[in-house]
Amino acid sequence: MSKYIFVVGGVMSGVGKGVASASIGKILQARGYKVTAIKIDPYVNVDAGTMNPTEHGEVFVTEDGDETDQDIGNYERFLNQDIYRANYMTTGRIYESVIHKERNLEYNGKCVEVVPHIPEEIIRRIKKAALKSKADITIIEVGGTVGEYQNILFLEAARMMHLKNPLDVQFIMVSYLPIPGTIGEMKTKPTQYAIRTLNSAGIQPDFILCRSAKPLDEKRRQKLSVFGNVLPQDVISAPDVDSIYEVPINFEKENLSQKIIAKLGLKAKPKKDLGDWKKLVRTAKSVKKEVKIAMVGKYFATGAFILADSYISVIESLKHAAWANKVKPVIEWVNSDEYEKNPAKVKELKNYDGIIVPGGFGSRGIEGKIKAIKYARENNIPYFGLCYGMQLATIEFARNVAKLKDANSTEIKPKTKHPVIHIMEEQVEKLAKKQYGNTMRLGSYPCVLAKKSRSFIAYGKKRIDERHRHRYEFNNAYRDRLTKKGLLLAGLSPDKKLVEIVEIPKHKFFVGVQFHPEFRSRPLNPHPLFVEFIKSAKKHAKGGSASSRK
Ligand code: GLN
Tens-digit pLDDT profile for residues 72-119:
999 999 999 999 999 999 999 999 999 999 999 999 999 999 999 999
Looking at the CA of residue 440, tell me the nearest atom of ligand 1: 4
Please give the Cα distance from 298 to 250 (Å, whole number). 35
- pLDDT at 550 (0 to 100): 43
Mean pLDDT rounded to a whole number for the chain: 93
Q: What is the pTM (predicted TM-score) of this model?
A: 0.94
Q: Do the beta carbons of residue 210 and residue 191 sit within 8 Å?
A: yes
For ligand 1, is residue 359 a contact (CB within 6 Å)? yes
- pLDDT at 544 (0 to 100): 55
Position 302 pLDDT exceeds 70: no
Looking at the CA of residue 516, tell me the nearest atom of ligand 1: 9
Please give the Cα distance from 226 to 223 (Å, whole number). 5
Give SS3 for 157.
Answer: helix
- pLDDT at 251 (0 to 100): 95
- pLDDT at 11 (0 to 100): 87
Q: Do the beta carbons of residue 307 and residue 57 sit within 8 Å?
A: yes
Identify which of 91, 25, 60 has the alpha carbon closest to the alpha carbon of residue 309.
Answer: 60
For ligand 1, is residue 387 a contact (CB within 6 Å)? yes
Looking at the CA of residue 387, tell me the nearest atom of ligand 1: 8
Burial per residue of 174-185, b for 16 or more beta-carbon CB atoms within 10 angstroms, e otherwise: bbbbbeeeeeee
Looking at the CA of residue 424, tell me the nearest atom of ligand 1: 10
| CA 495 – ligand 1 centroid, Å | 21
Q: What is the DSSP letter of 98?
A: H
Q: 303 pLDDT band (50/70/90 cuts)?
A: low
In the 3-class helix/strand/coil scheme, how is 70-81 assigned residue by residue? HHHHHHHHHHCC
| CA 311 – ligand 1 centroid, Å | 14
pLDDT digit string (tens) for 454-494? 999 999 999 999 999 999 999 999 999 999 999 999 999 99
Provide CB contacts within 8 A for 267, sequence distance 6+: none
Q: 298 pLDDT band (50/70/90 cuts)?
A: confident
Identify which of 204, 187, 281, 286 has the alpha carbon closest to the alpha carbon of residue 243.
Answer: 281
Looking at residues 42-48, what average pLDDT do you find?
93
pLDDT digit string (tens) for 133-144? 999 999 999 999
Position 306 pLDDT exceeds 90: no
No. of helices (H) and no. of strands (E), the chain: 19, 23
Position 547 pLDDT exceeds 80: no
Pair type for strands 137-142 and 35-41: parallel
For ligand 1, is residue 471 a contact (CB within 6 Å)? yes
Phi, psi of 455 (to 5 degrees): -60, -40
pLDDT digit string (tens) for 503-526? 999 999 999 999 999 999 999 999
Position 242 pLDDT exceeds 90: no
For ligand 1, is residue 466 a contact (CB within 6 Å)? no
Partner residues linked to 388 by β-bridges:
none
| CA 471 – ligand 1 centroid, Å | 6
Amino acid identity of residue 311, one-letter, is: Y
Active-site hit among 67, 252, 254, 387: 387
For ligand 1, is residue 389 a contact (CB within 6 Å)? no
Please give the Cα distance from 284 to 365 (Å, whole number). 33
Position 240 pLDDT exceeds 60: yes
- pLDDT at 516 (0 to 100): 98
- pLDDT at 309 (0 to 100): 78
| Structural domains of the chain, ranges and CATH numbers in brackets | 3-279 (3.40.50.300), 288-548 (3.40.50.880)
Please give the Cα distance from 251 to 22 (Å, whole number). 12
